[in-house]
């Protein structure tokens, strides 16, 4: 009976696992740490940003 060949897993050494690349165009960027707030998390943003559309990306 011929030996069955198992397919090799192809893992890219250059790409960290479970990460996605985003390309975003915008006006400003802030680097913040999420703080605990009850059963949730909170990030404070400048009051000038109130009413503006924002996107939050977890980086770690």
- Between 18 and 49, the higher pLDDT residue: 49
pTM value surpassing 0.85: no
Confirm if 11 and 18 have CB atoms less than 8 A apart: no
Selection from 26, 45, 25, 23 nearest residue 34 by Cα: 45
Average pLDDT in the 3-23 region? 67
pLDDT at residue number 30: 94
pLDDT at residue number 19: 85
d(CA 18, CA 36) in angstroms, rounded, equals: 25
Across the chain, what does the average pLDDT equal? 84
Which run of H or of E encompasses 30?
none
Length of the chain: 60
């Amino acid at each position: 009976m011929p030996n069955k060949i198992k397919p090799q897993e192809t893992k890219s050494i250059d790409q960290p696992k479970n990460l996605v690349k985003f390309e975003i165009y915008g006006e400003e960027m802030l680097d913040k740490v999420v703080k605990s707030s009850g059963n949730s998390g909170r990030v404070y943003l400048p009051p000038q940003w109130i009413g503006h559309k924002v996107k939050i990306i977890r980086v770690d």
